[in-house]
Structures are given as C-alpha cells and as structure tokens.
Structure 1
Amino acid sequence: MSQFRNNKILIIAPHADDEVLGVGGTMARFAAEGAEVYVIIATKGYPPDYSEELSTTVRNQALVANRLLGTKETQFLDLPAANLDCVPYRDINHQLVEAIRNIQPEVLYIPFNGDLHIDHQKIFSSALVAARPNRINAPSRIYAYETLSETNWNAPYLTPNFVPNVFVDISGYLEMKIEAMAIYASQIQPFPHERSLEALRALATLRGTTVGRFAAEAFVLVREII
C-alpha cells in the first residue's frame, strides 16, 4: 500500500491536460489506494487566442478525464493561458495561496521550472511561494513533474535539466492514463508528435525500465519534510 494512502494530494496544472501528461498514472494509483486527489487547472484560454467554445470543451474534457482517474475535485482558476508573463506575480501568488490554503494538501505536484513554456515557469514559482514551509499546513512533500513538449524542449545546460530522482510505478495504471489522455481529444496530436498517445506510452515505458518496472512516471523531489 502506498505511503500516500489517506493523504491529500494536489496537482497544479498550468493548462488542462498537463496534469494527465505528467501525473495521470500517479493520480490514478494513489486515488485507488485511498488518497484524496485534487487538481487545480490554473489558466483559461481567452479570445482572440482561444475561442470560448474551445475553452469550454477543454474544461469539460478535463472534468471527465480527471473523474476517470479518481480525482476527488477539479478546480479551475481563470488566469489567462499563454499570457501569465503579463499578470502581476503577486496576483498569481494570491490565487495559489488561497487554493492551497483551502485544500491543505500533504503532497504537492507542480510543473518543472525548466519547462520551455513561461506559464509553467510562473506556476512553479508561485506554487513554491504558496507552499512556503513556514505557512500553517504547508505541504510536506513537493514534486516537480515533466510535461511532454515542454520539459524537454528547453536549452540543455543553459536552463535547468529534468533529472528525476523519484519514480512512481504506474504499471497497473498506464492504460487508465492513456484512456484519460484520449479524452482530451482537442489536445491530442498524431504520432510522432510528442503529444500523441504513442509518445506518452513510450515515455512511461522508458521511465519504468529505468527502475526495473513496466511503466512509471518520473519526478524531481523539490522538498520533503519528515
């Protein structure tokens, strides 16, 4: 049985589908083992960059995909997608502080600070502000996850490299993760695009064989308080 059984686990996703790409199998496994899993999707697409119809579709897909994985609750913030560099830092901080205070998770998953997308970088920084260890009920474990087409598209050796040191065996939950990602039909791309189901399966297989498992998700431990 998982060490996270009966814990509250929170995944903060900059955009809808990041949570499944990076943590989908882990969410399914820990939910099945008794954890309460929460998801916060931080941004929403606004015209003219994104149509209202697409934004509504993606959010509906997120609810269905996360429900499949056993998520207790999916919350949506309304920060502007692909425009977080135009939002005052304190405003992002405030929204994440409030969200973490309301949920009070023991375990927190956040995007990797070396991701190419600036939204991911901003959410990483603000999540750490919101999860400062001197806050009451601060998370005792924080992990950074990888996101296909963002984490590995940075500039090697010039920006932080994703070098995982925590692996979660998702051998029994890989198919559920693939099924959840397939629900995000608006976001899926044909192979060999990295946001294809084939690429997602390949990454899970690679991470798994790294530690002698059939499938795994990989993370960087940011902080652990024991």
Structure 2
Amino acid sequence: MTFSWSQQRILILSPHPDDEVLGCGGLIHKAKSAGAEVFVQFLTVGNTTDQSSSVSTSPEDRNDEIKRVADHQQWDGWHMAFPGDEYHLRLDQLPRLELANMVEQESPLAIARLRPTMLIAPHRSSYNQDHQAVAEAAHTATRPSNNRLRHHPDFVLAYEEAADQWRTDSVPMPNLLVELTEEDLGSKLEAMRQYATQIHEHPHTRSEETLRSLAVLRGMQAGVPLAEAYHIMRCLA
C-alpha cells in the first residue's frame, strides 16, 4: 500500500468543539505538516456547565476558542451544523436521516461537496449520546454504493478518546496506529490549551497527562515513542 499524507483532503466530524483535538490533534499536525488539507465539521455547541467545575461557558466563548485552535493548527475550514441549546447534548433526539444528510449533502463541508479522501468520525463506543449519534450518522453517510454516482472517501476512520473506555461492553482494539512526533503531540497539547474552558487538571480524561499517556501507550503498542489510535471502517488502497 502506498500512502501519502500530502495527497489527503481530510474531513473530521467533531460532535463538540475539542473532540477533534482529543481524537485527532496529532494526526492534524502530522497531515498539515506534510501538505494535506484538513477541514472540521462541528455538529453542535451550546451553553454548558461542566459537572467537574462551576465554570459555565457560552457558544460565543466556544466559538472564540475554535478560532484560536483553527489558527494554531492551520485548518483549511470549519463549520458548525446545529448551534444552540436545542441541539447540544441532544443530537440523539434528531432523526438519524437529518444528521446523515447534513454530513453527506447539506453542510458546506458535506462529503458530496468537499469530496474528502479521508473522513474521520468518533467511535460509537463513546458513552456520550452526541458522539454515538454522530458516529451512526457517519456510518450511514459513508455507506457502500456505486462510487461513480456518489463520492466515497478512500479512508473512513473512527478516532478514540480516553473517556470512550468507560463502557460496560467490550471496546474493540484500534487497528490503525498513526505514529506521532513530539512536535505532533506538542501541537495537540497546545490546541487543547486553547480550549481553555475544556481542559482540566489531572486526573481527568481531558488533562494533558491523560493525552500524553494515551499517546505513549499507543506508541508502545506500535513499537514507537508516540501514536494515535484509530479504527478502520474503510481503506481503499
């Protein structure tokens, strides 16, 4: 298999602002450094109060953070599909068809419009209902069909987050490990710092120690210092 990051147009589905960094922050830096295009499709954002703190954040706060992260990692574009409290943490109440159509056709960053070579979405094993809904929508939007009539990304991947392991059922072992450099991981950690309302002190699933520890663990499994892990849904070589 011959693979070049420089030839990729990557579309990342992020249920909320910060999920794309938690799952793909290292890959984003690696791909952009090689010359790839990276776009982030956010699904929702609203007023939130984190259960582990008394900090309340507004959509305006989160949008400012997105802009800082986008500048830091030099994204080629981003879009918010369903802003507002009506949707935030309620994506599971939207018809699956509506979510899938947004991803596949209706968003400015829809698969049919952007024609990405790689789509990366959350894994359905997440405990978070929004993550599960987006994962299922991505599954539908990338369903097999005649690729002469409908665009098929060559690569469809699911990213992991440390909190995904909190499940009573079995979470499959990731089957793709992407090697990271210290610079890739450093960019990921700095991007997470830009999400100042979302990063936490250790022990927390969104702490710097957690992100580095998971990168070290996945690197060890590949025989390299650092890595991010993914589940392959489609790989057309």
Name 2:91's counterpart in structure 1. 84
Measured after TM superposition, the shift of residue 53 of structure 1 is 5.7
Measured after TM superposition, the shift of residue 224 of structure 1 is 1.4
The counterpart of 2:154, out of the listed 102, 120, 140, is 140
Measured after TM superposition, the shift of residue 67 of structure 1 is 2.5
Contact 1:32 1:70 in 2 (8 A): no
1:119-134 to 2 correspondences below 5 Å: 119-134=130-145
* C-alpha RMSD over aligned residues: 2.1
Question: After TM superposition, where is structure 1 displaced by more than 4 Å over at least 4 residues in a row?
Answer: 46-49
The residue type equivalent to 1:145 in the other structure is Y
Measured after TM superposition, the shift of residue 88 of structure 1 is 1.5
Instruction: State the TM-score, normalized to the length of structure 1.
Output: 0.91
Name 1:114's counterpart in structure 2. 125
Contact 2:177 2:228 in 1 (8 A): yes
The residue type equivalent to 2:196 in the other structure is A
Name 2:71's counterpart in structure 1. 67
SS of the aligned residue for 1:5 comes to helix
Measured after TM superposition, the shift of residue 130 of structure 1 is 1.5
The residue type equivalent to 2:184 in the other structure is Y
1:1-226 to 2 correspondences below 5 Å: 3-46=4-47, 54-78=58-82, 80-98=87-105, 99-134=110-145, 136-149=150-163, 151-157=164-170, 161-171=171-181, 172-226=183-237
C-alpha separation between the residues in 1 aligned to 2:143 and 2:158?
A: 15
Instruction: State the TM-score, normalized to the length of structure 2.
Output: 0.87
C-alpha separation between the residues in 2 aligned to 1:193 and 1:47?
A: 18
Percentage identity across aligned positions? 32
C-alpha separation between the residues in 2 aligned to 1:11 and 1:17?
A: 12
Q: 1:162 to 1:66 in 2, by over 3 A?
A: farther
Q: Which runs of 5+ in 1 are unaligned?
A: none
Contact 1:63 1:74 in 2 (8 A): no
Measured after TM superposition, the shift of residue 156 of structure 1 is 3.2
Q: Which runs of 5+ in 2 are unaligned?
A: none
C-alpha separation between the residues in 1 aligned to 2:136 and 2:143?
A: 11
